[in-house]
Amino acid sequence: MRSFLNVLLEENELLAIKDAIKPQYEVTAVLSKVLAEQGGPAVLFENVIGFPGQKIVGNLLASRRKLALALGCDTAGLRDAYLDKRFKTLEPEMVSGNVPCQEVVYTENLDLPALLPAPIFHAGDAGPYLTAGVLMARDPVSGVLNTGIHRLQLKGKNRLGVFLASPPLSDYFKRAEQDGKALPVAVALGLHPAELVAAAVTIKKDLKSKVDLAGAMAGRPVPLAPATSVDLSIPALAEIILEGEILPGVREEEGPFGESTGYYFQAQSPVIEVRAVTCRREPILSVIMPWGMETEVILSAFSGAELWQELNRLIPEVLEVAFLPGALTFQGVIKVAPKLSNREIRRLIHLALNLDRRLKHVVVVDEDIDIHNPREVLWALATRFQGTKDLVCLPGLEGYSIDPSVKNGETAKIGFDATTSPDGPGSPRYRRLMFTEEAALRAEEILQRRKQ
């Protein structure tokens, strides 16, 4: 992560805050304001009240540009870079000796709230939370090491509540619990963002381990080292590692927590009993702000790539997939070639809404629309859609667990055909306003001189 912070500094994408800051609410407030007013640089809090020598960093991936920097590509090439790396996984490498994540080791009289500057993100949250922790565990049956991002509530001196709602780790715990056994786990905080995003990807049948994917994303095998108190391998270059086990047969109230949907959510969740904390000297705690751009950027880039690949294989006229900001990938946009008929567009809508569990609404647009620009998508919806003939509604489908509007596990999914079919975007009726190429080049020349 520190190497990536240096890249952000060089690219003028890192804002260092030297003012004293409280982990309670103030971190969230600053991250939110920076996103709104300064274009979304990453923010490094260098003076955290109550935690001398420790820092907090947020907004690491809160833009497509920063995500592209993490993967070593440009924003236009994000989809293809991800899909290329997706099929070139690299197995991790074991390292021995002294490793950065174990420069300092705590095993006695653990007190997590005193050790970690975990923020309380919003008024109404049940307590401090870790939101960028990569949870690691082995499959009790196959022994495969895997990862996932799961929110973690600090519940006491050595206990964490974990919202464990998605595979593969939820499956691993289920298998261990059926045998009456605890599941050994580690939480890695402060990884290179390429490794972090690998943990957020939905695991597919052809992907054995997200640790292998993390190596491909980062462009080198993930260096692993033995944990100090559990039988696991952990990322040697992490800032902080929490070692412990998920207790079988134990569920406790976890939350309320201000989730990425923008609403509070709580559940009866499993509990992690922490045995050891290891870290670098003067560690940097990374956080992902709930209901911020970071979650959306991560999920949109890779969920969009996966969905595009599946749809394009079935319907080659599917050109690109994206998600509207502010909707946590619940609202998607699909760009299609103009030769696709209205009947085929309806088939596409059915496919998309059934393939992606999160997807609740989908808008299909023509190739002249920039689907990463919400204004253009809304313009297409306003001027190319008629509700009497272009609306598709699919009731009674599986809903997503953190969507508060879902009832009895079911939701209604909706598709909007906002294309110009059968006329086409180049027809006289749908002729767009435009500049001459000469004027556009002249404008760019003028603005470039102003920057110099």
Here the CATH number for the domain that contains residue 169 is 2.30.110.10
Distance (Å, rounded) from C-alpha 79 to C-alpha 93?
27
Q: Over range 344-363, report the average pLDDT.
A: 92
- Average pLDDT of the residues of the chain: 91
Query: Is a pLDDT exceeding 80 seen at residue 101?
Result: yes
| 132-170 tens-digit pLDDT | 999 999 999 999 999 999 999 999 899 999 999 889 999
Q: Which residue has the higher pLDDT, 39 or 350?
A: 350
- Domain ends where: 224, 258, 293? 293
Weakest mean pLDDT among 132-136, 225-229, 267-271, 353-357: 353-357
Q: Look at residue 8 and tell me if it is in a domain.
A: yes
Res. 257 pLDDT band, cuts 50 70 90: very high
Helix or strand holding residue 34 (H, E): helix 26-37
Least reliable range by pLDDT among 120-124, 295-299, 353-357, 377-381: 295-299
- pLDDT tens digit sequence for 53-65: 999 999 998 888 9
Question: Considering the domain boundaries, does residue 452 fall inside one?
Answer: no
CA distance 428 to 408: 48
What is the reported pLDDT for 37?
58
Residue 404: give the domain boundaries. Answer: 315-430
| Same domain flag for 129 and 207 | yes
Report CA-CA distances (Å) from 443 to 169, 352, 369, 375, 437: 53, 40, 22, 22, 10
The pLDDT tens digits of the residues spanning 68-80 come to 999 999 988 888 8
Q: Pull the structure tokens for residue 163.
A: 């919202």
Whether residue 200 is found in the same domain as residue 325? no
Residues 284 and 401 in one domain: no
Instruction: Tell whether 123 and 195 lie within a shared domain.
Output: yes
Is a pLDDT exceeding 60 seen at residue 38?
no
Tell me: do 9 and 70 sit in the same domain. Answer: yes
Q: Identify the burial level of 274 via C-beta atoms within 10 angstroms of its C-beta, where 0-12 means exposed, 13-18 middle and 19 or more buried.
A: buried
pLDDT tens, 167-209?
Answer: 999 999 999 999 999 999 999 999 999 899 899 888 776 778 9
Same domain? 144 vs 202: yes
Q: 393 and 282 in one domain?
A: no
CB-based contacts of 85, cutoff 8 Å, min separation 6: 71, 213, 216, 217
My answer on whether 75 and 176 are in the same domain is yes
User: In whole angstroms, what is the distance from residue 287 CA to residue 195 CA?
Assistant: 15
Alpha helices, DSSP H only, in 315-406? 342-355, 374-384, 387-390
- The Cα–Cα gap between 94 and 221 comes to 9
**Does one domain contain both 70 and 178?**
yes
Which candidate, 102, 173, 161, 92, places its Cα nearest to that of 133? 161
pLDDT on residue 286? 97
Within 10 angstroms of residue 370's Cβ, the number of other Cβ atoms is: 14
Give the residue from 293, 323, 346 where a domain finishes.
Answer: 293
**Contact at 8 Å (CB) between 270 and 235?**
no
User: Per-residue pLDDT for 452 more than 70?
Assistant: no
pLDDT at 418 over 60: yes
Mean pLDDT within 314-338 = 89
Q: Which two tokens stand for residue 382?
A: 């306003």
Q: Report in angstroms the alpha-carbon separations of 393 from 302, 348, 371, 389, 415.
A: 26, 13, 22, 12, 6
- Spatial contact of 309 and 83, defined as CB atoms under 8 Å apart: yes
302 domain-assigned: no
pLDDT at 249 over 60: yes
pLDDT for res 246: 98
pLDDT, tens digit, for every residue of 271-320?
999 999 999 999 999 999 888 788 878 777 777 888 899 999 999 999 99
The rounded distance, in Å, linking the Cα atoms of 7 and 391 is 45
**Single pTM value for the model:** 0.85
Q: How many domains in the chain? A: 2
346 and 200 within one domain: no
- Same structural domain, 246 and 352: no
Identify the pLDDT of residue 39.
Answer: 61
Phi, psi of 284 (to 5 degrees): -110, 120
**Residue among 225, 240, 234, 354 nearest 286 (CA):** 240
Residue 416 has pLDDT above 70, yes or no: yes
**Whether the predicted pLDDT of 412 surpasses 70:** yes
Tell whether 253 and 343 lie within a shared domain.
no
Asked, for residue 189, whether it belongs to a domain, the answer is yes
CATH for 381: 3.40.1670.10
Angle between helices 342-355 and 293-314 (to 10 degrees): 130
Over residues 345-352, mean pLDDT: 95
Q: Would 261 be classed as within a structural domain? A: yes
